[in-house]
Amino acid sequence: MVNFIFGIHNHQPLGNFGWVMESAYEKSYRPFMETLEEYPNMKVAAHYSGPLLEWIQNNKPEHLDLLRSLVKRGQLEIVVAGFYEPVLASIPKEDRIVQIEKLKEFAKELGYEAKGVWLTERVWQPELVKSLRAAGIDYVIVDDYHFMSAGLSKEELFWPYYTEDGGEVISVFPIDEKLRYLIPFRPVDKTIEYLHSLDDGDESKVAVFHDDGEKFGVWPGTYEWVYEKGWLREFFDNVSSDERINLILYSEYLQRFRPRGLVYLPIASYFEMSEWSLPAKQAKLFVEFVEELKKENKFDRYRVFVRGGIWKNFFFKYPESNYMHKRMLMVSKAVRDNLEAREFILRAQCNDAYWHGVFGGVYLPHLRRAVWENIIKANSYVKTGNFVRDIDFDGRDEVFIENENFYAVFKPAYGGALFELSSKRKAVNYNDVLARRWEHYHEVPEAATPEEEGGEGVASIHELGKQIPDEIRRELAYDSHLRAILQDHFLDPETTLDEYRLSRYIELGDFLTGAYNFSLIENGITLERDGSVTKKQARVEKSVRLTDDGFIVDYTVRSDTRALFGVELNLAVHSVMEEPAEFEAEKFEVNDPYGIGRVEIELDRRAKVWKYPIKTLSQSESGWDFIQQGVSYTVLFPVEGELRFRLRFREL
């Protein structure tokens, strides 16, 4: 007989749309637990994230009653994590304990004293042991890949182990990767056969499956397969009645058996994450390398040595995510003693908006907007003031300016541009705009999955090859720079809007990403750069002052080269889908009712204006997402000699 632990992880990110929550509930969470109720001999370990539990509590409270009933019947073990589903390794130690204890309290309301942690995205680093133990946790669940990366063979991965840091010890269960690819995508008998193959008479041997609950109804094709075609009922029936399979919960296992020994796990996550977290060029090489090993039938033998990036690499891969993360850390430290403010920063630690894999993640504006909303709300409880320091640890100082209504953060070393303009009144960051970048899967149709395709059942997301539609490919463009407000361009006068928006133009000057000198003034900053335009000397000065409703900037531009001087404002317009347009105006309004709201751009003279949507191409569980990350507005003036003008940004 072999022990078998069956677990699911149910999560919806902070800021997700209500209709998405509703759909996932009806397709997965509700039918799964209602089916479980029909099989009293079936046992499940379940983790529900805080954002999902809050939605269920407000919209489907009867589901919580069902969970309480299943706990009482001994069918359900509640496994916790950080309440708002942070990657624990990415947040301060003090916040980890509060996050875990908050979800433990919710588990108590469901009738369960939780002692185990589902490690968000299975992102492990050794020093987590101390935080987990301080939060009263006895065991944690990670992938078998972590253990293999530590040098253990597959045959040694059917038992939990102890791991230790600084004298603190915790039990660690390995999730069986083969089961992750069998359940629920392959016929039930394939899983039964595999579990039977593990039965060698050792009564302490345990196979662990613990994976996303969304695989049971939300992932493409799975609702029909799991429920309408009866996969889940067949699975519960067969597993719970098989005399060679002993269904057991984590806590029950640890009451009967002791962990096998001591192991030290490296920093790791699951195998696919090591592909996704690499910079795009390296990720492409990683996929090619895995495919070469498979072709030569060497992958299974050597895969333990195949490792890509780690989760925190996403902060290197996506500077916008890194900046958001470092602002979160900055505010977390500032509000640690303020319980009300701290609740907002705990929300801002929800992991989804900080990274990107097979799901949208950082590419989904509404998820980033939710993080920024909570960072800004938390920040508003303390007075930050003005300062100069390297906020995002990129080796260059930022200038942080605060008034009664706004936070403004300039990067003098990166075009002297405004990289954060956060409104306290609206709790939005006007520059929450992601640059358009090439991702390795734009060329690589396959992913570096450790399993071969099975041919039977339903395809996993990881097996779905996708071609970019022609209508998207025609509009696809990549940026050579990050997006900000008050970015300075020198363009050839013959440049067209299409050339500009599709990144098919030549930047005549070195001001867009060049370093500006700066000096602080009352309520603002003066930035200046002596650079060149077509190798001739040029100079740009901009003096920016925060106002009660936005900012005013006065420009002085000197260039001997005949050119178009453009000031670009990238604004986080997410709810109104814009089209490219060219017009002339002295004043124009931007209206984004479900995003940044209404703002007005006013000039002291009439100017040509180019606008276009900034669209990125990313993959998701449903295919390709061509998403508007914001809208670029560029005001253009001819320059040959000296140019002076004023621009005003006003929040309405």
- Which residues belong to the active site? 121, 212
Residue with tokens 């490219």: 580
Residue position matching structure tokens 């009738």 = 111
Q: Roughly how many angstroms between the first and final C-alpha of the chain, as a whole number?
A: 69
C-alpha separations of 429 from 215, 362, 548 in Å:
34, 15, 16
Residue for token digits 């509930």? 25
Q: How is residue 223 written in tokens?
A: 């609702």
What distance in Å separates the CA atoms of residue 250 and residue 80, rounded to the nearest whole number? 13
Interhelix angle 93-109/50-59, nearest 10 degrees? 30
Tokens 């509000």 -> residue: 335
Output b/e per residue, 30-60; b: 16+ Cβ within 10 A: bbbbebbeebeebbbbbbbbbbbbbbbeeeb
Strands 116-118, 417-423: parallel, antiparallel or unpaired by DSSP?
unpaired
Candidates 624, 614, 626; CA nearest to 435 is: 614
Quote the distance between the C-alpha of residue 12 and its chain's center: 12
Residue 600 contacts residue 587 (beta carbons within 8 Å): yes
Burial bucket for residue 116 (CB in 10 Å: 0-12, 13-18, 19+): buried
- Dump the DSSP string for 307-338: ----GGGHHHH-HHHHHHHHHHHHHHHHTTT-
- Whether the Cβ atoms of residue 552 and residue 544 lie closer than 8 Å to each other: yes
CA distance 18 to 358: 21
Give the CA angle between residues 579, 429, 388 to the nearest 5°. Answer: 130
Rounded to an integer, what distance in angstroms lies between the CA atom of residue 310 and that of residue 308? 7
Which of these, 576, 612, 577, 611, lies nearest to 594 by C-alpha position? 576
Torsional class of 147: left (φ above 0), alpha (ψ -120 to 50), beta (otherwise): alpha
DSSP code for 277? T
Identify which of 483, 637, 484 has the alpha carbon closest to the alpha carbon of residue 555.
637
Residue 78 in tokens: 């509640």
Q: Which distant-in-sequence residues (6+ apart) come within 8 Å of 79 by Cβ?
A: 7, 45, 46, 47, 114, 116, 117, 118, 141, 250
Phi, psi of 209 (to 5 degrees): -115, 125
Instruction: List the one residue out of 607, 611, 650 whose CA is nearest residue 632.
Output: 611
State whether residue 74 is helix, strand or coil.
Answer: coil
Any idea which residue has 């519960």 for tokens? Answer: 236
Query: CA 535, CA 533: separation in Å to the nearest integer?
Result: 5
Long-range contacts: 598-602, Cβ < 8 Å, 24+? 598/651, 598/652, 599/430, 599/550, 599/571, 599/649, 599/650, 599/651, 599/652, 600/648, 600/649, 600/650, 600/652, 601/569, 601/633, 601/635, 601/647, 601/648, 601/649, 601/650, 602/647, 602/648, 602/650
